[in-house]
Chains A and B, each alone.
Chain A
Amino acid sequence: MDVMRRHFWIFVFLGAALAGAAAFAPTAHAVLEVDITRGNIEPLPIAIPGLSPEGLTDTDTAAGTLEQLGAKISRVISADLERSGLFRPIDPAAFIRLPTAAEVRPRFSNWRAIAAQALVTGKVSLEPDGRARIEFRLWDVFAESQMTGLRYVAPPQNWRRVAHLISDAIYRRLTGEAGYFDSRIVYISESGPKTQRVKRLSIMDQDGANHRFLTSGEDLVLTPRFSPSRQEITYMAYYNDQPRVYLYNIDTGKHEVLGDFPNMTFAPRFSPDGNRVIMSLAEAGNSDVYLMDLRTRAVRRLTTHPGIDTSPSFSPDGTHIVFNSDRGGSQQLYVMRADGSDIHRISFGNGRYATPVWSPRGDLIAFTKISQAKFRIGVMRQDGSGERLLTDSYQDEGPTWSPNGRVLMYFRQIPSDAQGEGGSTSLWSVDLTGYNERPVTAPNDASDPAWSPLIR
């Protein structure tokens, strides 16, 4: 009996052991592990059919019929995304079937068939008060799920802004980073012959639309800079042959002189909070960096070296300032704390470095590098490491960052030939990869661009 019992228990335990082993075995079997380290760095294919009109499709709005409005908005979104270099809008001619306003979920198989990875659908309708109601949805074609969806209500004539806001929302959702499409550019528009150049302060949307001149062209204007926090610009203008720093509010149209400095003032730039302006002042052939509080107008001197210190730019957290100086013998980049202490050189490559600008994202400093008889745009980290040149033309200079720190705009000069023909100055943009370099449309010759923060 005992023996049998003992055997019984042995069997029970052996059985349990086997069952346990069987239960464990599947989870313990090696899951195949594969490292995916290579992919295709190419723009994401995205389908952006025209937003569908809802209700009476031929209803006239202040900006065309609803159908036209929907088509215009999607064209601007397409153009925005395409210019970023990160997306490849698919040619609408390839679309198998257009979505309708009544459709809640797209037929994903139709979009997979044309290799779209993302899809934007949307509707335009008219509110009783005459405003347009514009909504869109962004879909992951392969996961068959909605990634984001927003609705905007705005006067129909503001459709461009809504389109840029939608582009920003799509960009943010698909890259994880804020967009930059709802922003503007101020720059110097140049016209007339070389001897009598008319330079006017001008402004336009980031895509070149809504162009407008802000000054008449009587005074020479230079180096406009946007406030990182407000729709405000500083710039330099020669008045009675004296350069002065001005402040211009875009919303109110008010110009004011920042201060009557007895000496030459150069290269004004805002602090990240928009309350101070940093610039250089020249005195007896020596220029140093100064900081001015816009509310109290108190001025503080930050550098006191006999070398030429100029082009200061704040880090986005306001703790450091990058500037250029020839104190070491040639023009190089230096970083100091915001109070002027701890000055150290960061650029050590061959050639000279000018116009440093700190990225709004904080990770990089852009500059103009002068070497091998060329002016090129480059970036480096704040300790001077990782220097990369992004452009390679004859003369590119004056970089300005997009609000998200992913694109740089600058101006390119093409020299005139022996007969004095063909010379031009134009705006260009390039992204951080260096591959996506494009001209920016402007009516005349253009220089000295400055990118605004997002309008909001």
Chain B
Amino acid sequence: MDDLRLGFIFSAVFHVTLVAVGIVGIPALKRDLAPLPEAIPVELVTVDDINRIRAAARRAKLQPKPQRTAEAPPAATRQAPDAAPDAVPLPDAKPAKKPQIKPRTKPKIMPTAALRSKPKPPSSLDTGRLAALIDKSIRETEAAPRAPEKDNRKRLEEAVRSSQLASLGARRSTATLEAMVQAQVERCWNPPAGAKDAQDLIVKIRIWLTLEGKLVRPPQILGQSFFSSAQDSFYRVAAESAARAVRRCAPYTLPRDRYDQWSEIDLKFDPSQMLGG
């Protein structure tokens, strides 16, 4: 009897595992099978965006000019050929050797980081409000999907009859969602230009959003361990530019009825198309 029971237990465990793998495994499999479409994002570039980019470019072109004129006056003083004796004589470059200047001319550099700044980010961030956002998001995820789920099921049942159509529709809808996120994030992203091999600095960031499209918590940078130390500072800069873009663009406007699909997003920032070549 005991043997029998033991056998039964093992068999049950085995089957349950199989069932679990079945449940968990299939969505993962599906994800692999449906490659992310590439061409569709083009649809979402509106005239608005183009205008904004042009305006930004125009602004960028116009801006430097006043700065330059502001810098111009010193040129007059520079004209004086006898500037050399008084104004920080060149040998001061190695000030330690110059007697008339105290031996400590070479500026001492001491990191003051965090010494005085007593960072109080949590208080300024207002954790209370943050908690409320998190709570809300949970409540709303619980509440929201219930109703659409039924709709979805109905729709799915219908679609099962023509499975081809169904997969096409699903693909298109994620693609649209993707394009919406893309359009909103790209607007805010200033990739670091000019770094050595900048095109190879690909950054993956995960963000968590509330139903209002706000960030639930700071964006998380994924898998940065494979970068060599020489590229570390470049990678950090690239990662920071990505995180800044994500913060600048929040809150995001995305369809609420599909919150379950975008509550968590992995963004891959890849500058190779812009900077390569």
Chain A bound to chain B:
yes
A251 to B271, CA, bound (A): 44
A443 within 8 Å of B by Cβ? Answer: yes
Tell me whether A32 and B24 are in contact in the complex, defined as CB-CB below 8 angstroms, given that A155-B102, A158-B95, A250-B90 are known contacts.
Answer: no
In the complex, which residues of chain B have a beta carbon less than 8 angstroms from the beta carbon of A373? none
Asked if A455 is at the interface (CB within 8 A of a chain B CB), the reply is yes
Asked if A98 is at the interface (CB within 8 A of a chain B CB), the reply is: no
Which one, A209, A250, A455, contacts B78 given CB within 8 A?
Answer: A209
- Residue in A10, A30, A208, A432 whose Cβ sees the most chain B Cβ within 10 Å: A30
Residue contact A36 to B195, C-beta cutoff 8 Å: no
Q: Which residues of B contact A35 (CB under 8 A)?
A: 36, 182, 267-268, 270
Give the residues in chain B near A165, CB-CB below 8 Å.
Answer: 107, 109
Q: Which residues of A contact B1 (CB under 8 A)?
A: 2
Nearest chain A CB to B131's CB is how many angstroms away? 18
Kindly list chain B residues whose C-beta atoms are within 8 Å of the C-beta of A86. Answer: 193-194
**Residues of chain A lying within 8 A (CB to CB) of residue B261:** 30, 32
Complex interface residues of chain B between 249 and 273 (CB less than 8 A to chain A)? 260-262, 264-273
User: Which of A174-182, A261-269, A274-282, A338-346 faces chain B?
Assistant: A174-182
Looking at A40, A117, A150, A443, the one whose CB has the most chain B CB atoms below 10 A away is A40
**Which residues on the A side are within 8 Å of B111 (C-beta)?**
148-150
B244 close to A (CB within 8 Å):
yes
The residue on B at minimum CB distance from A169 is B109
For residue B132, CB closer than 8 A to chain A, the reply is no
The residue in chain B whose Cβ has the minimal distance to the Cβ of A17 is B16
Chain B residues 183 to 232 lying within 8 A of chain A, measured CB to CB, are 185-187, 189-196, 206, 218
Within 8 A of B (CB), among A361-393: 361, 363, 386
| Residue total for B at the interface (Cβ-Cβ under 8 A) | 110
Min CB–CB distance B274 → chain A (angstroms): 6
A433:B194 contact, CB within 8 angstroms: yes
- Which of A21-29, A295-303, A304-312 is the interface stretch? A21-29
Determine the chain B residues whose CB is within 8 A of the CB of A154 once the complex forms: 104-107
Q: Select from chain B the residue with minimum beta-carbon distance to A132.
A: B107
The verdict on A420 contacting chain B, using a C-beta distance below 8 Å, is: no
Interface pair A78/B266, CB less than 8 Å apart? no
A158 CB to closest chain B CB (Å) equals 6
The yes or no answer to A65 lying at the interface (CB within 8 A) is no
**Are A34 and B74 neighbours in the complex by a CB distance under 8 Å?**
no
The answer, among B19, B117, B234, for a CB contact under 8 Å with A177, is B234
Which residue in A24, A38, A134, A175 is a CB contact (below 8 Å) of B186?
A: A38
- Range of interface residues on A (Cβ < 8 Å): 35 or more
User: Is chain B's binding surface mostly helix, strand, loop or mixed?
Assistant: helix
A32 touching B265 by the CB < 8 A rule?
Answer: yes
Among B90, B235, B236, the most chain A Cβ lie within 10 Å of the Cβ of B90
User: In the bound complex, what is the Cα–Cα distance between A209 and B88 (angstroms)?
Assistant: 10
**Known contacts A36-B270, A40-B190, A78-B67: does B83 contact A117 (CB below 8 Å)?**
no
In the bound complex, do residue B83 and residue A212 qualify as a contact, i.e. CB atoms below 8 Å apart?
A: yes
The smallest C-beta distance from A235 to any residue of chain B, in angstroms, reads 16
Q: Does residue A43 face the partner (Cβ distance < 8 Å to B)?
A: yes
Instruction: Report the bound CA distance from A213 to B248 in whole Å.
Output: 49
Question: What residues of B have a CB within 8 angstroms of the CB of A212 in the complex?
Answer: 83-84, 89-90
Contact A137 B109, CB 8 Å, known A34-B182, A176-B234: no
Which residues of chain A come closer than 8 Å to B93, judged between CB atoms? 161, 184, 231, 250-251, 455
Q: A33 to B204: give the CA distance in the assembly, Å.
A: 10
Q: What's the nearest-Cβ distance from chain A to residue B191, in Å?
A: 5
Most buried by B among A149, A172, A433: A149
A1 to chain B, nearest CB (A): 11
User: Of B95, B112, B244, which contacts A150 at CB under 8 A?
Assistant: B112
Contact A176 B236 (CB under 8 A): yes
B147 within 8 A of A: no
Q: Contact at B90–A184, with CB atoms within 8 Å? A: yes
B residues near A213, Cβ cutoff 8 Å: 81, 84
- Give Cα A328–Cα B204 distance, bound, in whole angstroms: 49
Contact segment of A138-146, A315-323, A347-355, A421-429: A138-146
Tell whether A257 is near chain B: CB-to-CB under 8 Å.
no
Contact B195 A175 (CB under 8 A): yes
Report how far A162 CA is from B92 CA in the complex, Å. 12
What CA separation (Å) do A158 and B104 show in the bound complex?
Answer: 12
Chain A residue numbers with a CB within 8 Å of B128 are none
Is the beta-carbon distance between A361 and B196 smaller than 8 angstroms?
A: yes
Q: How far is the CB of A15 from chain B (nearest CB, A)?
A: 10
Question: What's the least CB distance linking A191 to chain B, in Å?
Answer: 10
Cβ of B165 under 8 Å from chain A = no
Given A35-B268, A129-B102, A105 and B88 contact (CB-CB distance below 8 Å): no
* Interface residue from A89, A143, A149, A162 paired with B67 (Cβ < 8 Å): A89
Query: Given the complex, which residues of A lie within 8 Å of B190, measured CB to CB?
Result: 39-42, 44, 117
* Set of chain A residues within 8 Å of B67, measured between Cβ atoms: 78-79, 82, 89
Task: Name the CB-closest residue of A to B64.
Answer: A82
CB neighbours (8 Å) of A75 from chain B are 70-71
CA distance A6 to B9 in the complex (A): 9
Interface of chain B residues 8 through 52 with chain A (CB within 8 A): 8-9, 12-13, 16, 19-20, 23-24, 27-28, 31, 36
B244 contacts A24, C-beta separation under 8 Å: no
Contacts A78-B67, A155-B101, A441-B78; A33 near B36 (Cβ below 8 A): yes
22 A–B contact pairs at CB < 8 A? Answer: A6-B5, A20-B20, A33-B266, A36-B182, A36-B185, A36-B186, A37-B271, A39-B191, A40-B190, A82-B67, A82-B68, A88-B64, A140-B244, A149-B112, A158-B105, A177-B195, A210-B84, A210-B90, A213-B81, A433-B193, A443-B81, A455-B93
Other A-B pairs beyond A158-B92, A175-B194, A184-B93, 16, CB < 8 Å: A13-B12, A21-B24, A35-B36, A36-B270, A38-B189, A38-B273, A42-B60, A82-B67, A142-B247, A144-B124, A145-B121, A146-B117, A149-B113, A209-B78, A209-B87, A431-B194
